[in-house]
Amino acid sequence: MSNKQHLLLHWVLDTPNKQLICKVNDDLTYIAHNGGHDGFTKIYKGVTSEVTLVEWVPDEKLWISEQYGEQVGYYQPDPNRVKKHPIRGYDQTCFNGLGPDGEYLDHMQRMQILMEGYDQATIWHKIRSTDRTPFFLFSTPDKGLTIYKRAPAERVRYPEAQQDSSLWWHDHPQPCAQQPYSKSYQLSSYNELEADGCPKSIVDKCKLGEWDAPEHPELQVYYIYPKTIEENFK
């Protein structure tokens, strides 16, 4: 088992409709509720049932492995599997396995690069050395022609947040165990970007579609992005 591919599931976030869906194949589909924190709806061969988070880890993932391991990989949990973060260098426990790139998989078996927003290129965020006031992070999937923002996260479940109320995080691109209520990407605008303090030269570059391309544009298939400002407030 240890030499086999680890279980990898492809979840698509329909941001306007606030639905996180994984279609394993024609027989099996899951809908995650608040990043799985409130369980999952399972549709298997036309029959709908509910799966709790406790049932998801590990029983449901082991069942998926048994039924469809050759297609999606095998769930191989290991509490002693530790790997350094590829950018920040800190040790992270990779209990749920490693993706095809050799990096962390989360409790819903999603790749680290998906959860860290590499489907878009960062444009702007304020960097304050002394002021810990939360701020937006602006990004683009298409070299600046479309602007999105991620807000400071609300109702997070990080243990550190319970100990220090000044700590905060941006919304993850997809809801997860620590950020079950993430709003993900919200449509923004050049005016909002400039009003936040982004230099006009950067805004002008975005308007021409000359900003950086995302590092992993192939991840964009896992999103239905909002197309109107009104969708930010559903």
Look at residue 228 in the predicted model and tell me its pLDDT.
Answer: 82
Look at residue 155 in the predicted model and tell me its pLDDT.
Answer: 92
Read off the pLDDT band of 1 (50, 70, 90).
Answer: very low
| Residue extents of the structural domains in the chain | 11-113, 121-233
DSSP class of residue 222? G
CA angle 100–178–230, rounded 5-degree value: 95
Cα 40 to Cα 182: distance, rounded to the nearest angstrom: 17
Q: What is the per-residue pLDDT across 157-166, written as a single tens digit (0 to 9) for each?
A: 999 988 888 8
Helix (H, G, I), strand (E, B) or coil at 16: coil
Look at residue 129 in the predicted model and tell me its pLDDT.
Answer: 47
Q: What is the per-residue pLDDT across 182-220, written as a single tens digit (0 to 9) for each?
A: 999 999 999 999 999 999 999 999 999 999 999 999 999
Q: Which residue reads 């559903």 in tokens?
A: 234
Characterize the bridge pairing of strands 223-224 and 11-14. Answer: parallel
Read off the pLDDT band of 101 (50, 70, 90).
Answer: very high
Helix (H, G, I), strand (E, B) or coil at 203: helix
Q: Looking at the predicted structure, is the pLDDT value of residue 130 above 60?
A: no
Read off the pLDDT band of 125 (50, 70, 90).
Answer: confident
| Alpha-carbon separation of residue 106 from 1, 103, 175, 217 (angstroms) | 19, 10, 11, 20
Q: Looking at the predicted structure, is the pLDDT value of residue 131 above 70?
A: no
Q: Looking at the predicted structure, is the pLDDT value of residue 180 above 80?
A: yes
pTM, rounded to two decimals: 0.93
Look at residue 2 in the predicted model and tell me its pLDDT.
Answer: 63
Q: Looking at the predicted structure, is the pLDDT value of residue 127 above 60?
A: no
Q: Which residue has the higher pLDDT, 167 or 223?
A: 223
Q: What is the per-residue pLDDT across 21-68, written as a single tens digit (0 to 9) for each?
A: 999 999 999 999 999 999 999 999 999 999 999 999 999 999 999 999
Look at residue 43 in the predicted model and tell me its pLDDT.
Answer: 98
Q: Looking at the predicted structure, is the pLDDT value of residue 126 above 80?
A: no
Kindly report the average pLDDT of the chain as a whole number: 93
Residue type, 198: C
First to last CA, the chain: 44
